[in-house]
Amino acid sequence: MQRVTTSWQSKMSFDADLDGHHLVMDASSEFGGEEKGPGPKQMLLAALGGCTGMDVVSLLGKMHVEYEGFTITAQGEASSEHPKVYTSIHLIYEFKGKSLPEDKLRKAVDLSQERYCSVSAMLRQAAKLTYEIKIVE
């Protein structure tokens, strides 16, 4: 069982203790926060990027694919009514390198999205999840 303890600090600021790793979350000044850290909904997008990114890095390592850089951009579109949940999330996987094997990149990303990334699987229950791959040489 995983356990995270989240403690109020001040105003809208909270400290999350994740097995000794501390993460500060806060609201923007418009909502009474001091912008000391990202908001909780942004953290969902970050968790998604981290989850699928770790899968892809692991899978590409097993496929002996070398690249110079790798980023994931997660774009969330929220509903206009409360609760303002993400209705769609689009991921952009961008790989940097020369002569990268597009078929292996696609296979790693597809396996992450369709089989391994538990955060993707959870968020897909609530929002439409799409993705694309970009290669920069």
Q: What pLDDT does 68 receive?
A: 98
DSSP codes of every residue in the chain: ----EEEEEETTEEEEEETTEEEEE---GGGT----S--HHHHHHHHHHHHHHHHHHHHHHHTT---SEEEEEEEEEE-SSSS--EEEEEEEEEEE-SS--HHHHHHHHHHIIIII-HHHHHHHTTSEEEEEEEEE-
pLDDT tens across 16-56, in order? 999 999 999 999 999 999 999 999 999 999 999 999 999 99
Question: What's the whole-number mean pLDDT along residues 103-114?
Answer: 98
The reported pTM is: 0.94
